[in-house]
Amino acid sequence: MRILRRLTPYRTPVIILVLFLCFPLIDHNAGHVNAAADAAVFVLLALGLNIVVGFAGLLDLGYAAFFAIGSYTYALAASPFYGLHLPFWPMLLVAAIVAGVFGALLGAPTLRLRGDYLAIVTLGFGEIVPTVFLNLPKYTGGTNGVVGIDKPTVFGYQFGFNPTPYYYTLIVIIVLSVIGILRLRDSRLGRAWLAVREDEIAAASMGIDLTATKLLAFSFGAFFSGFGGALYVAKLGIVSPDQFNFTVSFTILAMVVLGGMGNVFGVIAGAAILYEFQTLFLNDLTQWSHSLGQSLGIRVLTTINFVDLKFLLYGLGLVLLMLLRPEGLFPERRIRAIVTETVAAEVPVVGTAAVADSHGADTTPPGAA
Amino acid sequence: MNWVLFAQQLVNGLSLGAIYAVIALGYTMVYGIIELINFAHGDVYTAGSFVALATLTLLGASRHMAAAGLVFALIVTFLVAMLVMGGTGVVIERFAYRPLRGRPRLAPLLTAIGVSFSLENLLQLWMGPSPVPFPQLIPNPFFALGPVSVSQMQLFVIFSSVVMMVALHFFVVHTKLGKAMRATAQDWMAAEIMGIDINKTIALTFFIGSLLAGAAGVITGLFYGNIWFINGFRAGLIAFTAAVLGGIGNTTGAALGGFVIGFIEVMTAQYVGFQWAEVTIFSVLILVLIFRPTGLLGQQLPERT
């Protein structure tokens, strides 16, 4: 009973979770389960990026770098490349920790930067990391990457190439991550992130250590990409530098923005929607339009391929989203509530954040409505 | 150390840097006036190459034309590419950036990335996912400068870039519109009180920046002989590095930064390995931003979050 009562505020996510757990039992199409498992990897990545962008308000355009580091950590530790065959489960955690450490290492030099300089430096990092993997074939396999990565086992059960066990593992890790992230968000550190996001100067003057707060945001954000990376390459069995180019960082960012920056469940929805949109829906749409074009005799419809239009649709979608609904599909109502609720009662840090909306009137650029 | 080789690379760096410098001017002008990293600028530059190729194909230009016809075709191509890209810049500003003025920083930045991806995808749809050959119209004999050789194309690149930089400098410093741009960059509110039409001035800034990017696109096509839809991403990032290195908001700095980055790229390729050029450039960007965020020539900008 107590557990039930504690779950009550989360009943919608719990129902959705149960539906997702039943999904492979109902849909026996291995392709669909596979797409769902890949989408789950991107859910983990979006959850991690949400800590950096959504909670702490630091625009990270090179998040794929950490995904790459987590992926390579497991790939190199459990493949014939070095002849190391370390077990999957401890390495899953190690990959996440290594990614987290690199998050702090790469985050450290950028902390003095503000706003869009930070964006451009992280973009640079996002380019540097895969290039380094590409340029050191002796240590990372270069262009060919690493092949024959070990598949996980549980008590003698081989995961193999069947997507279903990966799917369930990912669901378990996502659930644990969401619980962890929600606890983190409500902790002292999480509230500090929100305060930094709302107004950095006010947060600093309230005694928040900006350096440590931002560094931890980078580090925790990267940590979750390590989980995603290790599971992703274990499932795929191969890793190469071209899996981590800028389009990956951009896609994850688009997921976070679409879902609603800062809202954990929104971000999950954003990632799932966008991933299924690009892998399944665009294919289906192309086929529908082809058959529609044939029956109506319209040539354009029979030749159009919506998969090729993916980034045009993403780009225009992002522009329209920013113009019409910048808070995303599922804006973070709860955090807003926390911020306003605790103005009088709790820490002054959070109180400063509430006035952020009125702040900036004197710096509003020209032509603003 | 082989000094002849070094001098030769210096020349190569000069022509490479000239193109970066022209692109960097657009970044720095836009950042100077509305403090936005216009991510789409690199793709506007590449779109310039594509429009130029389309124009040349339409004109039926080839190497075997009479010299007068060739010069005419090139002038028309430059004009078309520059005007089309200038117009594109104005349209992007009007519909994507202007409605977001005054919003939190994240919104216009994400919009800029969205515009950039849309443009890239459009270019890919237009001419395909592989590099496209660009007609080699200008005869390219080499001249000997002592032991160092300079190609006619390199001279053309450097000369046309310097002409554009000088023209821009003259425009910004000596014309009324240029004065309006500088005033708006310095204090838009005061500028508005003085009767300057802010919206027009910002649109003009985008027009000129994109115009220069379009010209750089034509030059790139002629110089390298092939164009690729994805070029703008890398070139844009490198040109932005040049703008930051020179001091963002400062047009002289952007030109200087472009040449410095050009040298860094060719020297890394020569002495370390060409595959490390990009890593070195981005490392330079990171180091500059950390240790001298105002750049080589930049003045202290007000800090913004």
* Tens-level pLDDT at each residue, chain A (369 residues): 677 777 777 777 788 888 888 888 887 788 888 889 999 999 999 999 999 999 998 888 899 999 999 999 999 998 888 888 899 999 999 999 999 999 998 888 777 777 778 888 888 889 899 999 999 988 888 888 898 898 988 887 888 888 889 999 999 999 999 999 999 999 999 999 999 888 888 999 999 999 899 999 999 999 999 999 999 999 999 999 999 988 899 999 999 999 988 889 999 999 999 998 888 888 888 888 888 888 888 877 777 888 888 889 989 998 998 888 888 888 876 545 544 444 443 434 433 444 444 343 344 444 443
Paired strand residues for B301: none
What per-residue confidence (pLDDT) applies to A334? 52
Which tokens go with A110? Answer: 């950028």
pLDDT for B234-243, tens place per residue? 899 899 999 9
For residue A363, being part of any structural domain is answered with no
Task: Please answer whether residues A220 and A214 qualify as being in contact, where contact means their C-beta atoms are separated by less than 8 angstroms.
Answer: no
What per-residue confidence (pLDDT) applies to A200? 85
Q: In angstroms, how far is CA A251 from the centroid of its own chain?
A: 9
B293 to chain A, any CB pair closer than 8 A? The answer is yes
What per-residue confidence (pLDDT) applies to A224? 92
Q: Is A15 exposed, middle or buried (0-12, 13-18, 19+ CB in 10 A)?
A: exposed
What pTM, to 2 d.p., does this model score? 0.86
B117·A314 Cβ contact <8 A: yes
Element spanning A238, H or E:
strand A238-239
Sign of CA dihedral A164, A89, A245, A61: positive
Q: Whole-angstrom Cα distance, residue A210 to residue A207?
A: 9
For residue B258, being part of any structural domain is answered with no
A210 to A196, A201, A220, B23, B304: CA distances (angstroms) = 7, 9, 15, 35, 16
Rg of chain B over CA atoms, in angstroms?
A: 19
- What φ, ψ does residue A158 adopt, rounded to 5°? -85, 125
A314·B188 Cβ contact <8 A: no
Confidence of residue B101 (pLDDT cuts 50, 70, 90): confident
Q: Which residue of B has its CA nearest to A108?
A: B290
For residue A361, being part of any structural domain is answered with no
Task: Please answer whether residues A246 and A229 qualify as being in contact, where contact means their C-beta atoms are separated by less than 8 angstroms.
Answer: no
Residue numbers in A near B244 (CB within 8 A):
117, 120
Give Cβ neighbours of residue A323 (< 8 Å, ≥ 6 apart).
B96, B99, B100, B111
A322·B102 Cβ contact <8 A: no
Q: CATH number for the domain including A70?
A: 1.10.3470
Beta strand pairing call for B132-133 and A84-85: unpaired
Which tokens go with A348? Answer: 């002054």
Q: What angle do CA A89, A90, A91 make, to 5 degrees?
A: 90
Q: Which residue of A has its CA nearest to B190?
A: A366
Beta strand pairing call for B142-145 and A157-158: unpaired
In eight-state DSSP terms, residue A148 is S
Side-chain half-sphere CA neighbours of A347 within 13 A? 18
Which tokens go with B54? Answer: 């389309």
For residue A362, being part of any structural domain is answered with no
Number of domains composing chain B: 1
Residue numbers in B near A242 (CB within 8 A):
none
Query: Per-residue pLDDT averaged across B65-78, rounded?
Result: 89
**Tokens 């005799």 correspond to what residue?**
A297
Q: Among A349, A354, A336, which residue's Cα sits nearest to residue A192?
A: A349
Q: Whole-angstrom Cα distance, residue A308 to residue B129?
A: 10
Q: Whole-angstrom Cα distance, residue A90 to residue A95?
A: 9
SS3 call for A264: helix
What per-residue confidence (pLDDT) applies to B187? 87
Q: In angstroms, how far is CA B168 from the centroid of its own chain?
A: 13
Paired strand residues for B150: B143
Higher pLDDT among residues B199 and A306, named by residue: B199
For residue A369, being part of any structural domain is answered with no
For residue A228, being part of any structural domain is answered with yes
Q: Whole-angstrom Cα distance, residue B216 to residue B220?
A: 6
**Tokens 């390219």 correspond to what residue?**
B140
Number of domains composing chain A: 1
Which tokens go with B118? Answer: 């849309």
pLDDT exceeds cutoff 70 at B290? yes
Minimal C-alpha gap between B188 and chain A (Å) = 6
What per-residue confidence (pLDDT) applies to A21? 82
Q: Among A150, A308, A345, which residue's Cα sits nearest to residue A231?
A: A150
Give Cβ neighbours of residue B134 (< 8 Å, ≥ 6 apart).
B49, B52, B53, B221, B222, B224, B225, B226, B227
Task: Please answer whether residues B180 and B196 qualify as being in contact, where contact means their C-beta atoms are separated by less than 8 angstroms.
Answer: yes
Task: Please answer whether residues A298 and B76 qualify as being in contact, where contact means their C-beta atoms are separated by less than 8 angstroms.
Answer: no
What per-residue confidence (pLDDT) applies to B293? 79
Instruction: Find residues 205-264 of chain B whose CB sits inside 8 Å of chain A.
Output: 233, 237, 240-241, 244
Q: Whole-angstrom Cα distance, residue A48 to residue A109?
A: 20
Residue numbers in A near B233 (CB within 8 A):
246
The residue type of A204 is A
Q: Which residue of A has its CA nearest to B31?
A: A116
Give Cβ neighbours of residue A64 (< 8 Å, ≥ 6 apart).
A126, A129, A130, A244, A245, A246, A248, A249, A252
Q: Among A368, A102, A341, which residue's Cα sits nearest to residue B34?
A: A368
Task: Please answer whether residues A270 and A238 qualify as being in contact, where contact means their C-beta atoms are separated by less than 8 angstroms.
Answer: no
Instruction: Find residues 85-114 of chain A whose CB sits inside 8 Å of chain B.
Output: 109-110, 112-114
Q: Whole-angstrom Cα distance, residue A197 to residue B105?
A: 12
Confidence of residue B213 (pLDDT cuts 50, 70, 90): very high
pLDDT for B224-278, tens place per residue? 999 999 999 889 989 999 998 998 888 889 999 999 999 999 999 999 988 899 8
Q: Which domain holds residue A259?
A: 2-356
Sign of CA dihedral A199, A202, A204, A208: negative
Which tokens go with B1? Answer: 């150390």
Ordered alpha helix ranges (H), A237-281: 246-259, 264-276
Instruction: Find residues 111-130 of chain A whose CB sits inside 8 Å of chain B.
Output: 112-117, 119-121, 123-125, 127-128
B121·A310 Cβ contact <8 A: yes
Q: Which domain holds residue B44?
A: 29-236
Q: Count other Cβ atoms within 10 Å, centred on residue B187.
A: 11
